[in-house]
Copies of this chain bind each other. A is one copy, B any other.
């Protein structure tokens, strides 16, 4: 992916979700989408400062550097922001994961599939 221009965390629209923006987390090698988390300004600054993916835990209401307990940290190589002219309101972290993203030990948190037409259990 190519950037159009460098921006900073100051350009992000922090107003839409009470100071939070959703963060899509993608493995920079495999390109698997690993998880969706949320970050506030402090979490983004800490991520920029340490290169360790840091989020805001909505359930614990605290800053959360992924993997500090489990060891499954995510080394952040690049951060992209979305296209909103009034200020980006979503981020994409491209990471090198040290282990599974999911607390279930799955590589990705997105391992449950919704049945669609043609699938075994669709409409049942």
Contact = CB atoms under 8 A, between A and B. Distances in A.
Interface of A: 1-9, 22, 24, 26, 30-33, 35-36, 44, 48, 51, 76, 78-83, 88, 90-92, 102-104, 106, 108-117, 119-122
Contact of A82 (B8, B36, B76, B115): B36
A113 to B, nearest CB: 3
Contact of A4 (B8, B24, B112, B122): B112
Contacts of A88: 112
A7 B76 CA distance: 32
B79 A113 contact: yes
Contact of A111 (B76, B83, B102, B104): B83
A35 to B, nearest CB: 7
Minimum-distance CB pairs A-B, first 3: A3-B113, A31-B31, A80-B110
A83 B103 CA distance: 8
Contacts of A103: 83
